[in-house]
Amino acid sequence: MSPEQQARFDQAVAILEADGGVQAPATSPLLEGRWRLLFTTRPGTASPIQRTFTAVDSFAVYQDIELAGEEVPRVCQVVDFGSSVGFLRVEAEASTDAQPLPGFTPRVGKGLPFGILGVSSSQPPARPNLRVDFQFDRAAFTFKSLPFKIPYPVPFKLLGDERKGWIDGTLFVLAKDVPPKQRLLDVLAQRRSRDDAEVQRLAEEVVAGGGGEAAPAASPLAGGTWRLVWMQQGETANPLQKALASQVENFQIVDLESSRLENLVCLAPGVRVRACAACGPEKGNTRTFVDIDEVVLELGPLKLPLPVKADGRGFVEWLHLEEDFRISRGNKGSVFIHTRERA
C-alpha cells in the first residue's frame, strides 16, 4: 500500500470509528457468524504465525464469532488453504461483559520474550460491551487427504496469561462472509441481469464445498415439488427443452412413496406438458433412475397423449441436496438448479 493509499485508508477508518457503529457490539447479534479477513496492518506486534498466514493472499482467513447459545462462547480463527487442501482452526473461549467466562482475568503484560505469540496491549476498553476477550485452548490442522486431525503444536493450557488476547489493537478489516449458496441464490434472483458464468461458478463452489446430503438419492429430502430456477444446457439436451428452459415455469415432482417422478412444464395458462416416469435410487445413492412411460399435453380439461421414446430411461445425478435447494445433472449433461416449492 502506497503512502497515499495508506493515508486515505486511515482517514476512512477514522471516519468509521468516529461514527461509532453499534454501541455495544459484544452483545449485538450482528457480531455472530463468520467474518472474512479483507485487510490487516500486520504490525510488528503481531505474532510470526499471524504475519505469515495473513501475508499470503492465496489463503483465506476467517474469524468465527460464536457468542450466542447455551454453550461456552467462542472465537475461532480459521486459515483456509483451499478446498482441495484443508484448513487450520485455532479455537478460544470468549468472555464479554455480558457473558463473563468463569475464572477469566484479562491478559496483563506484553507477552512472551521476542514476541513469539505477539506483543499484547493492556489498554482498557473505552466503554462496556465493546470488547471480546478470549483465551486459546485448542487448535488443529484438518487436511482433506487425511482421515484425522493434526494437533497444532502449541501447549495453550501451559501458557497461562500468554494464550489470552482480545479483538482490538492490531487493525483488521473484516466483512461478514456470505456462504456460496446464499451468493448463488442472490445472483439467481437477478433474472434479467444475471451472469450465467457467475451462476455456474458459484454452483460449482457450492458442490465443491459439500455439506449436502451424503446419499441424496435415498434421502427423504429428495421428495416433493421442485421449481427449476436455472439450467445449463448439455450438448445433447432436447431442443424443445433448450428453447423453453428460461421462458416458462418448470417443475419436477418426486413422490418417494410411489416411486414416481413427474416433469411439469407450464407453457401458458391452461396449457401444460407432463412427462411421467418411474424412478428410484441407483447403486451408490447419488443417482436416481428415471424411466419415462407417459407424456401428456394438457389443453384445459383436454388431455392428449404424446409419443414416448422406445427407450425413455435416463437418470438424475444429485450433485448437492439440502432441505430447500438442490443442484443436479441429467444424463444428457444439462445442469439444473431447483428450489423447493412450498404448498
- CA nearest neighbour of 78 among 180, 171, 152, 156: 152
What pLDDT, on the 0 to 100 scale, is given for residue 26?
84
- For 163-175, the pLDDT digits (tens) are 556 555 444 566 6
Cβ contacts of residue 178 below 8 Å, gap of 6+? 186
- CA nearest neighbour of 144 among 209, 60, 91: 209
What pLDDT, on the 0 to 100 scale, is given for residue 41?
64
> Which amino acid makes up residue 266?
C
CATH number of 213-340: 2.40.128.280
102: left (phi over 0), alpha (psi -120 to 50) or beta: beta
What pLDDT, on the 0 to 100 scale, is given for residue 309?
78
- For 98-145, the pLDDT digits (tens) are 888 888 777 665 544 433 334 455 567 777 888 888 888 888 999 988
Instruction: Report the predicted TM-score, pTM, of the whole model to 2 decimal places.
Output: 0.56
Taking the CA atoms of 313, 314, 316 and 317 in sequence, report the sign of the dihedral they define: positive
What pLDDT, on the 0 to 100 scale, is given for residue 117?
39
What pLDDT, on the 0 to 100 scale, is given for residue 279?
96
Kindly tell me if the per-residue pLDDT of 43 is higher than 70: no
What pLDDT, on the 0 to 100 scale, is given for residue 239?
57
Compute the distance between CA of residue 177 and CA of residue 33 in angstroms, rounded to an integer: 8
What are the sequence ranges of the domains in the chain?
A: 3-176, 213-340
Find cell 504465525 and name the residue.
49
Q: How confident is the model at residue 155 (pLDDT cuts 50, 70, 90)?
A: low
What grid cell was written down for 300?
Answer: 384445459
